[in-house]
Copies of this chain bind each other. A is one copy, B any other.
């Protein structure tokens, strides 16, 4: 039985924004990133140059001496990656919000190492308070991954695959969807020759206030006030944007229903 409590050497499968941010954080925490594999060779080389590690030519020929293989690839590729890996004594863990731990069952020691955060090209994310959600095929794996996550963040927790899926779904509602609404606002203002910059203090305060007030108590705006005049004016202004108008209508209806029925 390898001593998992001292994960030191890590290999990465995948070289995207998530992999890059994790690798930088792990390196800073004193871990050794030894190798990376990606089907996109130029992407893998970029990662390897930044992190100063080697590039594996094939999944099958990856270095089998690592303590951990972090698999940060699209969800529909995880199972295939797991099956293509050679035999090793270390842990194989994926970083997905939605894939079950079972997708890596082909590896003897397997787990999940899921950071709940959005990783965007060109932005280095501070991992110190990012929640890390852990699963493992046995207690040794769970503990090893917990200790490792604890070197990156003060917010580490073991949960089930089911709970993780719910967190992932909730994350879409608080991150991907709000970002789409930001881009709608940008479109509306651009048309008027007004800059998106004007909205930034409001966006920051909207995010900041739910740190101290629950979202339901923090709700403001015309729909919350049931202010039909303003709602009608806004819908009129959106006539040139039928898609945005539909979305405005649906969300406003839901807010009115939630607070006034």
Structural contact, B166 and A131, CB atoms closer than 8 A: no
Contacts of A221 in B (CB 8 A): 172, 175-177, 179
- Chain A, residues 209-235, CB within 8 Å of chain B (1/0): the string is 111111111111111110101100110
Contact assessment for B237 and A165 in the assembled complex, using a CB-CB cutoff below 8 Å: yes
Determine if B172 and A202 form an interchain contact, defined as CB atoms under 8 angstroms apart: no
**In chain A, residues 245-261, which have Cβ atoms closer than 8 Å to a Cβ of chain B?**
246-248, 250-251, 254-255, 257-258
Q: Is the CB of B213 within 8 A of A122?
A: yes
Query: How many angstroms between the C-alpha atoms of A59 and B95 in the bound complex?
Result: 62
B182 touches A203 (CB 8 A): no
Q: Which residue of B lies closest to A220 (CB)?
A: B118
Q: How far is the CA of A177 from the CA of B231 in the complex (A)?
A: 13
Q: Contact between B189 and A166 (Cβ–Cβ < 8 Å)?
A: yes
Q: A74-B225, A215-B183, A237-B169 given as contacts; is B199 within 8 A of A116 (CB)?
A: yes
- With the chains together, A88 CA to B207 CA distance in Å? 41
**A76, A177, A194: which has the most chain B beta carbons within 10 Å?**
A177
A163 — which chain B residues lie within 8 A by C-beta? 192, 194
Does A29 reach chain B (CB closer than 8 Å)? no
CA A247 to CA B222, docked complex, whole Å: 19
Interface centre among A166, A183, A213, A247 (most CB of B within 10 A): A183
Q: A117-B202, A224-B176 are in contact. Are A234 and B169 (CB under 8 A)?
A: yes
CA distance A233 to B161 in the complex (A): 13
Q: How far is the CA of A167 from the CA of B198 in the complex (A)?
A: 8
B250 lies within 8 A of A219 (CB): no
Whether, in the assembled complex, A171 has its beta carbon less than 8 Å from a beta carbon of chain B, the answer is yes
| CB-CB under 8 A for A179 and B233, given A173-B184, A186-B216 | no
A75-B229, A179-B210 known; A120 vs B165 contact (CB < 8 Å)? no
The answer for the CA separation of A214 and B183 in the assembled complex, in Å, is: 8
Q: Does A138 contact B (CB under 8 A)?
A: no
Between A and B, 30 residue pairs with Cβ closer than 8 Å are: A76-B229, A98-B230, A116-B201, A116-B202, A117-B201, A118-B206, A119-B220, A123-B213, A131-B201, A167-B194, A167-B199, A169-B188, A171-B199, A172-B234, A174-B178, A174-B181, A175-B203, A175-B205, A175-B221, A179-B218, A179-B219, A180-B254, A180-B258, A182-B210, A186-B214, A186-B216, A196-B210, A200-B211, A207-B208, A247-B250
